[in-house]
A and B are shown apart, each in its own frame.
Chain A
Amino acid sequence: MIAQQIINAVSLGGVYALLALGLAIVFSIVGLINFAHGELMTLTGYALLAALIAGVPFPAAVLLAVICAAIAAVAMERIAFRPMRGASVTSLLLTSFAVSGLLKVIFQNGVSARPQAVAIPGWMTGAFSFGDFTIGVGPTISIAVSILALIALEFFLRRTVTGTAMRAAAEDFDVVRLMGIPANRIIATAFLLSGLLAGLAAMLWVASRASVDPLMGFTPVLKAFIAAVVGGLGSLPGAVAGGFLLGVIEVLLQAMLPAALAPYRDAIVLSGVIAVLLIRPQGLIPAVRVQRS
């Protein structure tokens, strides 16, 4: 029972961490909180649904859906955010709300306002026994995917020139441009990565719910935003730490709160968030940003 709860907690935390990382990567480079991030998740869900209906085998459909998310993220930057480059934070924020609203309406009118069932293979909803423990296959896959994605991202950011340039751009974008590295390439890569992460998170989210609906992305991305703020906005290790922390706290509260207090779960979580921010206003692991004269 406890093992199962821990697995669930880490698995939910992993999804939040992937989403928070996507938000943090884009924020660290362009100073934008992309509230249309949730719609990337939703889009991935519908892409999976469409691919499965078209008869694409499940693994290929997942791959296709994640690629769709990455392309959609890059397109979003190219169409909506690039013309707003250099605009104020408020303008960027409003743009992201506009993109989010537009996509939601397209999903509602183009597909359906009601949830659509997604056929998840039976083996993913099963469980396996491990001594005395019974562990769900879904959460285990979820944890594995999150960890692999984190390792791959870390490798990309540490070992490649583009990844190094992204870490540098988070600190001082202008100087990266002075090195002859195109700003557009850095920004497009940031959105590409955030799209990939949103796509993976969407797959894990859909796998545990077996349905897609137009508002699917809202709640997880709101949670991821909270996680990113708690971790330290724009800090990638902070986003991961915040994501796991939030997931673990949510699941543990759900498991341990007496029934009478259960409706207050979100209130308790958010009070915790406020407490953290009162003690550490910059977040758990603050972002490095050089003070410019």
Chain B
Amino acid sequence: MSRLSCRRRPTFPLRDAMLNVESLRIRYGEVEAVRHVDLTVGTGEIVALVGANGAGKSSTLGAVAGLVPAAGGKVLLEGKDITNMPAEAIARRGVALVPEGRRIFASLTVADNLRLGGAVHQTASDAKAREEEMLELFPILRRYHQVRGGNLSGGEQQMLAIARALMARPKLILLDEPSLGLAPQIIDTVFDLIAQLRRNGLTVLLVEQNVALALEIADRATVLANGEVALTGTAAELASSDLVRQAYLGA
């Protein structure tokens, strides 16, 4: 097994890291989906994880969220080891994953979807207050409050999936392909929203196939190829790198 990529050591301070992924390895039976991934997300940053299909992006997010077991390496949240903790325990520590394909509860109403998102709140009034904030942020969800999630359009479902994840007041949100299958204007709305969430102090780790879009919004980015880090740097650096331009930006 050769490690031929030019893996670079991170060049930014690690002190305030929200998330550190160190030498992560993930295997599904015989298949090694992630061979060696190092990744750091600083508090308040947007970091994009890009790469081709099967590069290991979603698996990496899954391991951070606790849905996919790590075969090796470590995941640290604010310096504390959360490797292979159950997903529900990681969620309670302030990590929210918006999964690929949105995966809202189709047979449940918008209200019930949000209610489950806020299930970690200690009191009903906390949950209610947070729901009110979400309905302010996503007026469309107020309009469709009693509509079943499955009856919403793709863009509305993406809004619901993000709102549901935010219900728990996470510190770190993991977004897996938020633009997938959405119309261009809706994508703009979603990405404006992501920028706004960051301005409010949320830390974002974004997996995105639309590399141009991801580099536009992210502070830093990491390119994965064949389960390894191919390249990492600031978004501007990557946008001007030959590898990224040729492979992903079609320039």
Query: B119 contacts A161, CB within 8 Å?
Result: yes
Residue in A closest to B97 when the chains form the complex, CB atoms: A178
- Is A175 close to B, CB under 8 A? yes
- Nearest chain A CB to B86 CB, angstrom units: 7
Query: B67 contacts A167, CB within 8 Å?
Result: no
Of A177, A183, A292, A293, chain B has the most CB atoms within 10 Å of the CB of: A177
- Nearest chain B CB to A150 CB, angstrom units: 19
- Nearest chain B CB to A100 CB, angstrom units: 30
- Is B106 close to A, CB under 8 A? yes
- Is A80 close to B, CB under 8 A? no
Query: A178 contacts B92, CB within 8 Å?
Result: no
Query: B107 contacts A179, CB within 8 Å?
Result: no
Total residues of chain B contacting the partner, CB 8 A: 28
Complex Cα gap A237–B88 (Å): 29
Residue in A closest to B100 when the chains form the complex, CB atoms: A293
Query: B120 contacts A174, CB within 8 Å?
Result: no
Complex Cα gap A176–B108 (Å): 12
Complex Cα gap A176–B91 (Å): 10
- Nearest chain A CB to B150 CB, angstrom units: 8
Residue in B88, B99, B105 whose CB lies within 8 Å of A168: B105
Kindly supply a per-residue 1/0 record for chain A positions 173-192, scoring 1 wherever the CB is within 8 Å of any chain B CB and 0 otherwise.
01111111111000000000
**How many residue pairs between the two chains, A and B, have CB atoms under 8 Å in the bound complex?**
76
Within residues 223 to 250 of chain B, which ones have a CB less than 8 A from any CB in chain A? none
Complex Cα gap A161–B112 (Å): 9
Residue in A closest to B168 when the chains form the complex, CB atoms: A180
Complex Cα gap A176–B105 (Å): 9
Given contacts A181-B88, A181-B119, contact A175 B105 (CB under 8 A): yes
Query: A178 contacts B100, CB within 8 Å?
Result: no
Query: B88 contacts A171, CB within 8 Å?
Result: no
Within residues 116 to 156 of chain B, which ones have a CB less than 8 A from any CB in chain A? 116-117, 119-120
Within residues 235 to 293 of chain A, which ones have a CB less than 8 A from any CB in chain B? 288, 290, 292-293
Residue in A closest to B111 when the chains form the complex, CB atoms: A164
Query: B106 contacts A171, CB within 8 Å?
Result: yes
Contacts of A168 in B (CB 8 A): 105, 108, 112-113, 116
Contacts of A181 in B (CB 8 A): 88, 116, 119-120
- Is A165 close to B, CB under 8 A? yes
Residue in B88, B100, B108 whose CB lies within 8 Å of A183: B88
Contacts of A165 in B (CB 8 A): 116, 119
Query: A177 contacts B67, CB within 8 Å?
Result: yes
Query: A164 contacts B120, CB within 8 Å?
Result: no
Query: B105 contacts A183, CB within 8 Å?
Result: no
Residue in A closest to B99 when the chains form the complex, CB atoms: A175
Residue in B closest to A288 when the chains form the complex, CB atoms: B107
Query: B106 contacts A174, CB within 8 Å?
Result: no
Complex Cα gap A167–B164 (Å): 16
Complex Cα gap A164–B148 (Å): 13
Query: A174 contacts B115, CB within 8 Å?
Result: no
Kindly supply a per-residue 1/0 record for chain A positions 123-157, scoring 1 wherever the CB is within 8 Å of any chain B CB and 0 otherwise.
00000000000000000000000000000000000
Given contacts A171-B105, A171-B106, A288-B106, contact A178 B119 (CB under 8 A): no
Kindly supply a per-residue 1/0 record for chain B positions 75-108, scoring 1 wherever the CB is within 8 Å of any chain A CB and 0 otherwise.
0000000000011100110001101110101111
Complex Cα gap A290–B116 (Å): 17
Contacts of A176 in B (CB 8 A): 116
Query: B120 contacts A180, CB within 8 Å?
Result: yes
- Is B65 close to A, CB under 8 A? yes
Query: A179 contacts B164, CB within 8 Å?
Result: yes
Given contacts A177-B87, A293-B101, contact A161 B108 (CB under 8 A): no
Contacts of A292 in B (CB 8 A): 101, 103
Given contacts A178-B99, A180-B120, contact A167 B88 (CB under 8 A): no
Contacts of B115 in A (CB 8 A): 161, 164
Complex Cα gap A3–B66 (Å): 58
Residue in B closest to A164 when the chains form the complex, CB atoms: B112
Contacts of B168 in A (CB 8 A): 179-180
Of B103, B106, B116, chain A has the most CB atoms within 10 Å of the CB of: B116
Given contacts A161-B115, A165-B116, A293-B100, contact A178 B105 (CB under 8 A): no
- Nearest chain A CB to B197 CB, angstrom units: 18
Residue in B86, B92, B103, B112 whose CB lies within 8 Å of A175: B103
Complex Cα gap A183–B86 (Å): 9
Contacts of A178 in B (CB 8 A): 65, 67, 87-88, 91, 96-97, 99, 165
- Nearest chain B CB to A136 CB, angstrom units: 39
Kindly supply a per-residue 1/0 record for chain A positions 100-131, scoring 1 wherever the CB is within 8 Å of any chain B CB and 0 otherwise.
00000000000000000000000000000000
11 CB contacts below 8 A, A to B, read: A161-B115, A161-B119, A171-B106, A175-B105, A177-B87, A178-B99, A181-B116, A181-B120, A290-B106, A293-B100, A293-B101
Kindly list 7 other residue pairs between chains A and B, CB separation below 8 angstroms, not including A164-B112, A180-B92, A181-B120. Answer: A161-B119, A171-B108, A174-B87, A174-B99, A179-B120, A182-B86, A290-B103
A contact residues vs B (CB 8 Å cutoff): 161, 164-165, 167-168, 171-172, 174-183, 288, 290, 292-293
